[in-house]
Structure 1
């Protein structure tokens, strides 16, 4: 269960955070002939996954530096908030008119949009290489096969977004607690840690829910 639970968490977060990435792939290759669309998706995804793999391993080493856990935790809280209020606008996604251009767009945009995914995988896996590899492998079929379907499901069942945001906020809280400066406060008091995580998660969800209604 110690291995299965984080794998399921990574899979769930991948599904939520890869929706836009999958849509980018679909939009970037939409102007290509049918026979080239598959190649653009395959090569674009391969390039994006390769760079994502590199970023995850870099993130692991970065998380060992001072204050990075604190910064990463705060970023995850923001990602959780953004997940709830994001409107997933797609009108401005550029489309490639050649195979090379489409692949370049897919790789470039996916890398930019995958920073939240990379941080989430690194945080949930907690430097466990097997979990990280599994998380990256899980990303591949999700990105390859999903597109507007993921976004439509998320829009149809808002509770999924709330659960995902709560998981990200909780993981962000755990990263903050792991920061050496903060860890000293919670080290001897597990109850305080639990209340901190619950409180942080609830605050993010409430703020996100309020903003979501205003969007």
Structure 2
């Protein structure tokens, strides 16, 4: 069942996906904190932990549902025109809609974070939450909204990995479980780190744009789409992993440089 974990590609996908799940879950942590802070102090930690546990269960159920839909590979409709030929399947539709959603979600989130950074907090702060059960329900609803892009990201990162249909599902479930556990244990330090380095979250949202395009290309490839006589090919996931790794390396070097400059300026000011 876990033979997929003997593959190097699977471990690379798992580590990359876990990182993205954590970074993309920062908004979720911020929202959960805002909801929990409206409760009495003795209930705040309980609301956070129960909210994240239910979020994990909810995401695993969604993974099963989406994985089933992605498994519908047989075309149920064929398009044959002078410029487009393809076989439409359930798998292609889910991947196409998922790719379009990620493009919309990532660009709109980047716009909100750059242009109106207080938007999300203002929406939640306007809601009055005093009971633990009401807070947990609110957290689960919030997570459902945020889990859509998380699930689609997982599908995009693992689709086609392994020889068995369950291989990708196992990787996605492990990544979700690890990311939720890490968020439960290190929710506050992670939030502080991202608030201190907001470019990390913008970087993750930029990765969603890449994954969105990859899902669209994958949908066309699996449908054997031929546009103006040219067959659409799949984008190798190695390119995506390299782009993510290279971007993160540049960002960490940039953070280190900023820290060094700040230390140098403090020394000069003290002199």
Task: Tell me the C-alpha RMSD between the 2 structures.
Answer: 2.6
Structure 2 residue ranges without an equivalent (≥5):
1-7, 73-89, 160-164, 244-271
Deviations along 1:120-150, one digit per CA (max 9) or x if unpaired, are: 1122122612211211112213432325425
Bigger share in strand:
2
Deviations along 1:130-179, one digit per CA (max 9) or x if unpaired, are: 21121111221343232542541442xx2x34542343222222222222
Structure 1 position 183, deviation (Å): 4.8
1:82 aligned to which of 108, 131, 136: 108
Structure 1 position 95, deviation (Å): 5.0
| Alignment length (residue pairs) | 190
Structure 1 position 41, deviation (Å): 1.3
Structure 1 position 79, deviation (Å): 2.9
Structure 1 residue ranges without an equivalent (≥5):
202-215
Structure 1 position 3, deviation (Å): 1.5
TM superposition score normalised by structure 1:
0.76
C-alpha distance in 1, partners of 2:206/2:11?
Answer: 19
Distance change >3 Å, CA 142–CA 150, structure 1 → 2: farther
1:50 has 2:57 as partner: yes
1:6 has 2:39 as partner: no
Structure (1 or 2) with the larger CA radius of gyration: 2
C-alpha distance in 2, partners of 1:91/1:142?
Answer: 27
**1:210 counterpart residue number:** none
Does 1 or 2 have the higher relative contact order (CA < 8 Å, sep 6+)? Answer: 1
2:174 aligned to which of 121, 134, 137: 134
TM superposition score normalised by structure 2:
0.62
Bigger mean CA offset, 47-56 vs 66-75: 66-75
**2:211 counterpart residue number:** 171
